[in-house]
Amino acid sequence: MSYAVSVAFGFGITLYHMVLRMPGTESSNKLCVVCGKDVAGKPRVKDASGRYTCIGECQEKHVENLKKATSSPKSAGATKSASVSASAVPRGDEGSMLNDLISQSPMLKAGKCEQCGSIMPQGGVICTRCGFNTQTGKALKTAVVVEKEKKEPKFKPGKYKNPYAGSSGPGFWKIFGVMSIVMTLVSLLVFAGPGGVLGAIIILSLASLIAWVANLVVAFKNDQMIWGILMIVPFINGISQFVFNIFFNEDENSKAFYWAVFIGWLAYGAMIVVAAQMGFNVDLASPTLSPTG
């Protein structure tokens, strides 16, 4: 029996406190010290002295009054308590966290942008939405800068857009000049008799083989497969290589070497004629190595 009474008594006490906390049941003596309105059940703030004010204009006026009171000579004795009150405002009512959060919100003193009407914080100069400047009265203008992509240097392509065409290496005229001199000197071996003629033929043949292989590599590497195949086919490989180097070979190095060897063969033929006219033995079947009488 006593247990049931205790439970009923505790339930009654709990219900009593719940009724007291319900809206409309608060004491009606919570009046704003500025405008005199009843702030019970409404958003309000309370200073350190227990006085209530409405949130907004009344709150600001009350803070100004407190500041004036602290600066007055008559209230020198109350300076400390008033300064504490001013610094403590806004404070939420005891037991009301919502009022405390509302009173501390910076949006209570926020303004609006004159141009687009967006909310601006107190003391804001530039609207983050439209760029309006409240000091100059003009909107900021923005420009989008797009950086151009850096292009990598490319070789100057020829007729067939050869990616390997260019002037890398010694260059056409250096190779052509040096190798033409060398091939011409080789052709002078014919004046040494049949042995010199044979040596000149061997050297020029090896140089021709090198030039042919170089032309094949360039043709297949530069997607000129037709010319590469034509230079392999017997009977037409020589004329195909000749035409390729005149019109289609874009590689300066292999072209220069080919024409230097070509000059070497021309010089060899000319030296054979000169040697024969001078009486030198240029017949490979003859073992005589001295000029004929």
**Pairing between strand 44-46 and 52-54?**
antiparallel
Tokens for 228, please give them: 């590469």
Within the chain, which residues score under 70 in pLDDT?
A: 1-29, 70-109, 142-144, 151-169, 285-293
pLDDT digits (tens, 9 = 90+) for 246-257: 999 888 889 999
> Are β-strands 52-54 and 119-120 bridged in parallel, bridged antiparallel, or unpaired?
unpaired
Tokens of 107: 């949006």
pLDDT of residue 80: 46
Confidence (pLDDT) at 283: 79
